[in-house]
A = this chain, B = another copy of it.
Amino acid sequence: MRKFSMVIFSLILAFAFSTAAFAEPLKVTVPGELTLAQAQKVLTAAVAKAEAIKVPVNIAVVDSGGNLKAFYRMDDAFLGSIDVSIKKAVTARYFNMSTRALGEASQVGKSLYSIEVTNGGLVLFPGGVLLVDKNNVVVGAVGVSGGTVDEDENVANAAAAVLK
């Protein structure tokens, strides 16, 4: 009888431990992933640059998974640039290069011609650049749309610089 109690007791103990192990909360984000605080810094830098050059833009920040992390549409910025800015950020991260670089490889007669119809639509003109942190890890990308493609890229570069 006593032995039996011990077995029961052990089982309860084991259960308690396993439960404890189970109850330990999952870490649902890879350590080092882009944070909201970082994304906000990127947005703030983008807005500052855009205001300096007097061009209202849409700014989209995606994380290393290419998923939207934060977004601002400045007043008077194009409605059509909401989607363009998000697609610029996604495009840059999906191929780990700026949309300018991808675009150059995707023109008529070039090797990646037609890639823009994949992935639900890619954007092949400048304004999407990678977000690289201090450890040289690509943690996402920023896409800017609203001005000329050069203006957009300038704003994106100024925004990305804050993470270095």
Which residues of A are at the interface with B, using a C-beta cutoff of 8 A? 24-33, 35-36, 39-40, 47, 63-76, 78-84, 87, 91, 93-96, 103, 106-109, 111-126, 130, 132, 135-139, 148-149
Chain B contacts for A139, CB-based, 8 A = 30
Given the complex, which residues of B lie within 8 Å of A106, measured CB to CB?
114
**A94 contact set on B, CB distance < 8 A:** 78-81
**B residues in contact with A123, CB < 8 Å:** 114-115, 117-118
Cβ-defined contact, A117 with B121, below 8 A: yes
Copies per complex of this chain: 4
CB-nearest residue of chain B to A124:
B114
Task: Tell me whether A31 and B137 are in contact (CB under 8 A).
Answer: yes
Chain B residue numbers with a CB within 8 Å of A63 are 65
Please pick, from B108, B114, B132, the residue contacting A26 in the complex, using a CB distance under 8 A: B132
Q: Are A79 and B108 in contact (CB under 8 A)?
A: no
**What residue of chain B has the Cβ atom nearest to residue A38's Cβ?**
B75
Chain A contact residues: helix, strand, loop or mixed: loop
The answer to whether B26 touches A96 (Cβ under 8 A) is yes
Closest approach, in angstroms, between the C-beta of A148 and any C-beta of chain B? Answer: 7
Are B26 and A138 closer than 8 Å at their CB atoms?
yes
Q: Which residues of B contact A83 (CB under 8 A)?
A: 118-120
User: What B residues does A36 contact at CB under 8 A?
Assistant: 47, 72-75
- Knowing A73-B36, A79-B93, A96-B26, the reply to whether A114 touches B119 (Cβ < 8 A) is no
CB distance from A121 to the nearest CB of B (A): 4
Other-chain residue from B29, B47, B82, B125 in contact with A75 (beta carbon distance below 8 A):
B29
